[in-house]
Amino acid sequence: MKKLVIYNHGKDSIPWGEKTKHFAEVAKYHGYAFESPDYQQQPDPDKRAEQLLAMDLSGFEQVVLIGSSMGAYVSTVASETIRPKGLFLLAPAFYLPGYRQTEFKPAAEDIRVFHGWQDDIVPPENVWRFCRQYRVRLNLYDTDHRMLSVISQLAEEFSRFLAGFDEG
């Protein structure tokens, strides 16, 4: 089975930063191809979602979307159309000014959300609002918005997340 993980980076991040490399390694270990689109020239989160939706995913039987901050918003918006197997969201930029969508229809068999108590970009309350509305488990860490201090734990969570699809 051809499987793909698409990592969607944040607003001021790059496609192949430190987090991306960690998640790419995990994805490859589980037999997934890995893509990280470059959104650096596109500041509009909804246009980024359009860019993601323009990707040709026809050759893949299983897609998992992972996103950080604005990339988590992009992943969630795009999931309504892509309908991935999994949605793995880090510090999702929900309910912020300039983000068009405030009502979501996240479509994935499994959705995981991770956020930092010390996040001063996206308030934890915003993420709790999303998780409560869509009945998604919220995993909180004592870290900031970038979550780099817990990247090892997040990579382990992602590995368990992908392994769960192999078991089913």
pLDDT digits (tens, 9 = 90+) for 33-76: 999 999 999 999 999 999 999 999 999 999 999 999 999 999 99
- The stretch 161-167 carries a mean pLDDT of 92
Task: Specify the pLDDT at position 168.
Answer: 61
Range with the poorest average pLDDT among 118-132, 133-147, 154-168? 154-168
The DSSP 8-state label assigned to residue 6 in this structure reads: E
Alpha helix segments (H runs only) across 14-101: 18-29, 45-53, 70-82
Range of the domain at 68: 3-167
DSSP bridge pairs for 138: 113
The model's pLDDT over 120-140, given as tens digits with 9 standing for 90+, comes to: 999 999 999 999 999 999 999
Q: Based on the structure, what is the number of domains in the chain?
A: 1
Task: Specify the pLDDT at position 156.
Answer: 98
Question: Taking the alpha carbons of 58, 59, 64, 68 in that order, is the dihedral positive or negative?
Answer: negative
CA separation for the pair 91, 83 (Å, rounded): 21
- CATH classification of the domain holding 84: 3.40.50.1820
The model's pLDDT over 12-32, given as tens digits with 9 standing for 90+, comes to: 999 999 999 999 999 999 999
Task: Specify the pLDDT at position 166.
Answer: 83
- The stretch 74-95 carries a mean pLDDT of 98
Distance from chain centroid for Cα 98:
19
Task: Specify the pLDDT at position 59.
Answer: 95
* In the predicted structure, residue 3 carries a pLDDT above the cut 80: yes
CA separation for the pair 124, 103 (Å, rounded): 17
